[in-house]
Chains A and B, each alone.
Chain A
Amino acid sequence: MAATPIDPSHSAGNGSESSVDDEEIARFEAMADKWWDPEGDFKPLHRLNPVRVGYLRDKVTAHFGSDENAPTPFAGLRILDIGCGGGLLAEPMARLGAQVVGADAGEANIRVARLHAARAGLDIDYRHTTAEALAEAGEKFDVIVNMEVIEHVADVGVFLGACAALLASGGAMAISTLNRTPKSYVAAIIGAEYLLRWLPRGTHNWRKFVKPSELADALAHAGLRLSDIRGLEYNPFGQTWSLGRDTGVNYVGFAVHAGSEN
């Protein structure tokens, strides 16, 4: 989700937030429509989203012992969505009752996300910032949602260290990423539709994909334990996703503090 294929500037800079003109608003509205069009550029993410949210809901409610069938099973939880993009995950979590902070390094993404949440009447605290900066400011969260981010960061160890620092005691983190396997290599090279659209055009960062063992090691280094790992399997014919055993391309995991039980 930290991928920023629709953030052409990366450099919108700062400061001029107060003088947004109509043309700019229109540009962001168009972007928001793109992010949120289930049949558009982000179709693979839209398809994946229910599976990710389902996993999150089940793991988080089990971890905190809350009722997964309650209308707002995340009530009372402060959740950080790191690399929130246009808010595809942040909005469902807010609807499930969480108090959500969405952070993204792409400023355009944050603007898009804010705009969309306002239109949907959702109260989400979107910030143009990084995990490191939040950690420095001493923020704490019950849950950190770290989806499709670590394959983009410069240093996985440093990044996960910052995430661990952001985690309140007894908290948990959900992580999804891409595995570095021959299978994912082939998928990336032959340009499986979903991968092509997902990754910023022209970046062949297969080398930055993360093996589950590497993830587990980096987490352990940060004082966290990978307590669960599941494959996110894509069926290109039905264009559907499901949770399964095959972690060869996409996978999702759940991490807790090293000392904790579940």
Chain B
Amino acid sequence: MARQKKTLSADVAISADVAIAGGGMVGLTLGIGLAQSGLSVVVIDAAPQAELTEPAFDGRSSAIAHASCRLLQGVGIWPHLADRAEPILEIRVTDGPSRQFLHFDQATLGDGPMGYMVENRHTRMGLFARATELDNLRIIAPDKAVSFEAEAAGARLTLESGIIIEAPLVVGAEGRASPLRQWAGIPTRKWQYNQSGIVATIAHELPHCNIAHERFLAPGPFAILPLKGNRSSLVWTVDPALAEEIMSLSPRAFLAEVEKRVGGFLGKLKVIGPRWTYPLGLQFAQRYIDPRLALVGDAAHGIHPIAGQGLNLGLRDVAALIEVLVDARRLGGDIGAADVLDRYQRWRRADSLALALATDGLNRLFSNDIAPIRALRDMGLAAINRMPAAKRFFMRHARGTVGKLPKLLKGEAV
């Protein structure tokens, strides 16, 4: 036979239809969707599973847009986290001191919440619960790939543990630093914002009424997002030096800073759990594919969290890739063939770039304290608020229901 297998005695070879490196929220959702469609899938994650659901591992919460929610429903994940998801019924956008504001509420669109806030650890627990229901999905963790070889008819992933996985397609879902992307020599464009994100959770005396607040303060946006119960998630964007200072504040001083920005409408506040800081930057892979390789999620694109769209964008990749692969497999095709991957790339690249640039533009616009720009954006917000059509347009973006949608995002089966 043409293939010469290296005969390392410790090797264990597994064959699968798809091997996914990175079992984050994006990678694992992909694995679940593909397995549910009948493909055999192996997901490899560097972190031990138990750790991933510890509150200390990831204190963040994510906004899951309406369309992403449909995807999660379609692949059977949603029932495992519906109880933990808090609907967002209204979004209020305020521009710092000028008090102009843009107001979106579900009554404008009239069909349900714009999205849901879910704590990342709850999303992960839901993913694990769904994963165990699928026999043809295997999770290998903690482990990671040490090499990737693409051959004419398939790829081979060698893991640190010595396990070898042979599959017609390998997916890189390891987040921003994606080793697969680097091994494939796919260049990225990067812009580092001179900003850091601070994330914390607060408990408050008064109910949040399912309203998300986005405040464009001069150093950067400040978001208050409704969680289950009388709790909210804060995402606070500031310059890195200030972030460091804020991170080193005593609990009491930190609370005082939070109170100053939140204001009094939620009553008495209390910070619960740790605070987190993340450097913010835009990163965009020049290609999403290489022979026998596809990138999804943050491995392909990391955008500014201003619009809370990072995870949602990754889930759009997932829905598109599932559809492309399932279509190819229904025709008995080689799911890792160049033309199949090309379809995925053409579908997703333009969409992600548009969103990346839009959020980049938003951030530049709103992180600016120059008076004429302030005036311009005030006019912009006021104008948008008066025009129902424009408002609906923005709202559809927030809900993630624009563009050429994969079936799973439309709530259809693949």
Taking Cβ atoms with an 8 Å cutoff, the residues of A that contact B are 25, 29, 32-33, 36, 38-39, 46, 49-50, 53-54, 57, 69-72, 91-96, 115-116, 118-121
Expressed in whole angstroms, the Cα–Cα distance for A213 and B96 within the complex equals 78
Which residues in window 7-35 of B have CB below 8 A to A? 15
Expressed in whole angstroms, the Cα–Cα distance for A118 and B5 within the complex equals 13
Complex: chain A residue closest to B166, CB-CB: A121
CB contacts (< 8 Å) of B3 on chain A: these are: 118-119
Which residues in window 229-255 of B have CB below 8 A to A? none
Q: A53-B333, A71-B37 are in contact. List 20 more A-B contacts (CB 8 A).
A: A36-B152, A38-B337, A38-B339, A49-B333, A50-B333, A54-B331, A57-B330, A69-B330, A72-B38, A91-B332, A92-B332, A94-B332, A95-B332, A95-B333, A96-B332, A119-B152, A120-B153, A120-B334, A121-B15, A121-B166
Contact among B2, B331, B332 with A119 in the assembled complex (CB-CB below 8 Å): B2
CB contacts (< 8 Å) of B166 on chain A: these are: 121
The smallest beta-carbon distance between B124 and chain A, in angstroms, is: 27
Category for how many chain B residues contact A: 20 to 34
Q: Are B332 and A38 in contact (CB under 8 A)?
A: no
Expressed in whole angstroms, the Cα–Cα distance for A32 and B39 within the complex equals 26
A38-B338, A46-B339, A71-B37 in contact; A119/B154 too (CB < 8 A)? yes
The smallest beta-carbon distance between A71 and chain B, in angstroms, is: 3
CB contacts (< 8 Å) of B338 on chain A: these are: 38-39
Q: Are B38 and A120 in contact (CB under 8 A)?
A: no
Expressed in whole angstroms, the Cα–Cα distance for A243 and B237 within the complex equals 55
The smallest beta-carbon distance between B280 and chain A, in angstroms, is: 40
CB contacts (< 8 Å) of B154 on chain A: these are: 119-121
Contact among A29, A33, A93, A95 with B329 in the assembled complex (CB-CB below 8 Å): A95
CB contacts (< 8 Å) of A49 on chain B: these are: 331, 333
Complex: chain B residue closest to A72, CB-CB: B38
Expressed in whole angstroms, the Cα–Cα distance for A53 and B329 within the complex equals 11
B350 in the interface (beta carbon within 8 A): no
The smallest beta-carbon distance between A68 and chain B, in angstroms, is: 8
Q: List 24 A-B contacts (CB under 8 A).
A: A29-B2, A36-B152, A36-B153, A38-B337, A38-B338, A38-B339, A49-B333, A50-B331, A53-B333, A54-B331, A57-B332, A69-B330, A71-B37, A71-B329, A91-B332, A91-B334, A92-B331, A93-B332, A94-B332, A95-B329, A118-B3, A119-B3, A119-B152, A120-B153
Expressed in whole angstroms, the Cα–Cα distance for A36 and B330 within the complex equals 19
Contact among A32, A53, A115 with B332 in the assembled complex (CB-CB below 8 Å): A53
CB contacts (< 8 Å) of B152 on chain A: these are: 32-33, 36, 119
Expressed in whole angstroms, the Cα–Cα distance for A39 and B339 within the complex equals 9
CB contacts (< 8 Å) of A93 on chain B: these are: 332
Q: Are A71 and B38 in contact (CB under 8 A)?
A: yes
Complex: chain B residue closest to A71, CB-CB: B38
Complex: chain B residue closest to A115, CB-CB: B2
B151 in the interface (beta carbon within 8 A): yes
B168 in the interface (beta carbon within 8 A): yes
Q: Are A25 and B2 in contact (CB under 8 A)?
A: yes
Contact among B1, B2, B331, B337 with A53 in the assembled complex (CB-CB below 8 Å): B331
Expressed in whole angstroms, the Cα–Cα distance for A121 and B156 within the complex equals 12
Expressed in whole angstroms, the Cα–Cα distance for A72 and B136 within the complex equals 14
Q: Are A116 and B153 in contact (CB under 8 A)?
A: yes
Expressed in whole angstroms, the Cα–Cα distance for A53 and B39 within the complex equals 19
Expressed in whole angstroms, the Cα–Cα distance for A25 and B1 within the complex equals 10
CB contacts (< 8 Å) of B15 on chain A: these are: 121
Contact among B1, B37, B331 with A118 in the assembled complex (CB-CB below 8 Å): B1
The smallest beta-carbon distance between A91 and chain B, in angstroms, is: 7
Q: Are A120 and B168 in contact (CB under 8 A)?
A: yes
Expressed in whole angstroms, the Cα–Cα distance for A255 and B274 within the complex equals 70
User: Which among A39, A116, A121 has the greatest number of chain B C-beta atoms within 10 A?
Assistant: A121
CB contacts (< 8 Å) of B332 on chain A: these are: 53, 57, 91-96
The smallest beta-carbon distance between B157 and chain A, in angstroms, is: 15
Expressed in whole angstroms, the Cα–Cα distance for A38 and B337 within the complex equals 9
CB contacts (< 8 Å) of A29 on chain B: these are: 2
Expressed in whole angstroms, the Cα–Cα distance for A228 and B334 within the complex equals 28
CB contacts (< 8 Å) of A33 on chain B: these are: 152
The smallest beta-carbon distance between B346 and chain A, in angstroms, is: 14
CB contacts (< 8 Å) of B168 on chain A: these are: 120
Which residues in window 106-165 of B have CB below 8 A to A? 151-154
The smallest beta-carbon distance between A51 and chain B, in angstroms, is: 9
The smallest beta-carbon distance between A28 and chain B, in angstroms, is: 9
Q: Are B1 and A57 in contact (CB under 8 A)?
A: no
CB contacts (< 8 Å) of B1 on chain A: these are: 118
Q: Are B153 and A57 in contact (CB under 8 A)?
A: no
Expressed in whole angstroms, the Cα–Cα distance for A129 and B166 within the complex equals 32
Complex: chain B residue closest to A89, CB-CB: B332
Q: Are A118 and B2 in contact (CB under 8 A)?
A: yes
Expressed in whole angstroms, the Cα–Cα distance for A29 and B151 within the complex equals 12
